[in-house]
Amino acid sequence: DTEVTQTPKHLVMGMTNKKSLKCEQHMGHRAMYWYKQKAKKPPELMFVYSYEKLSINESVPSRFSPECPNSSLLNLHLHALQPEDSALYLCASSPTGHLREAFFGQGTRLTVV
């Protein structure tokens, strides 16, 4: 299994809602990532987890809260988002050693209304 699976594929939420994005991989990768991609822009790194511990937070607002419950799962909890947070949210995973190719999920397209 060489896939990163993200659910849901699409999500529409109000500014007062709480929702979660989920990501799963079974490749034994111990590094997992959240990226945000706006239309016609490159992916921007949000968070990096290494061995289930948060190692990089790119100054992301606290309304985004990541969680890595185990080595296969990565969640992104969303609360009180703004319309400008609407974007494609990508999850990725990679090995932690040399030749660390990152595998990307299909993404969750989030719309905040």
**Residue numbers of the site for another protein (CB under 8 A)?**
31, 33, 41-45, 48, 50, 55-56, 90, 92, 94, 96, 98-107
Sequence letter at residue 36: K
Provide DSSP, 24-92: EE-S---EEEEEEE-TTS--EEEEEEETTEEEEE-S--TTEEEEEEETTEEEEEEES--GGG-EEEEEE
- Least distance from another protein to the Cβ atom of residue 42, Å: 4
Which residues have a Cβ under 8 Å from the Cβ of 41 and sit 6 or more positions away? Answer: none
- Least distance from another protein to the Cβ atom of residue 82, Å: 24
CB 47 within 8 A of CB 60: yes
- Least distance from another protein to the Cβ atom of residue 98, Å: 8
- Least distance from another protein to the Cβ atom of residue 44, Å: 8
